Amino acid sequence: MGLAGSGREEEALRLYGASCARNKELQTSAIDEIAFWVQLRERYLTPARERLGSAAAERAEAEGRAMGWTQAVAHALQLAQEREESGVSNI
């Protein structure tokens, strides 16, 4: 969610797509049932989708869903490392 709030909407939606794919793989719907997660999505991902536009947002989520969990975690760690190296303290 931090990515969505810091101007990295496409990356945020890509990782969100990966997390949705993982939840489906694990057969859990907790992300749709726990108010905390629903509120975070509404607060950060809805505006991110609006800023990107529908087609780009859908493409980023689809890329995330297709990347697999291991690759998604590696990608998130790479983003964190890049952010750290740039001198920005949070994602």
The pLDDT tens digits for 2-11 are 898 888 999 9
Domain that holds residue 69: 2-85
Does residue 50 lie in a domain region? yes
Does residue 91 lie in a domain region? no
Does residue 65 lie in a domain region? yes
Q: What is the mean pLDDT of residues 66-86?
A: 92
% pLDDT > 90, the chain? 58
Its pTM surpasses 0.85: no
Does residue 74 lie in a domain region? yes
* pLDDT tens, residue by residue, 53-73: 999 999 999 999 999 999 999
Does residue 64 lie in a domain region? yes
Does residue 71 lie in a domain region? yes
Residue from 76, 65, 89 nearest 17 by CA: 65
Does residue 90 lie in a domain region? no
Going by pLDDT thresholds of 50, 70 and 90, the confidence category of residue 52 is very high
How many domains is the chain partitioned into structurally?
A: 1
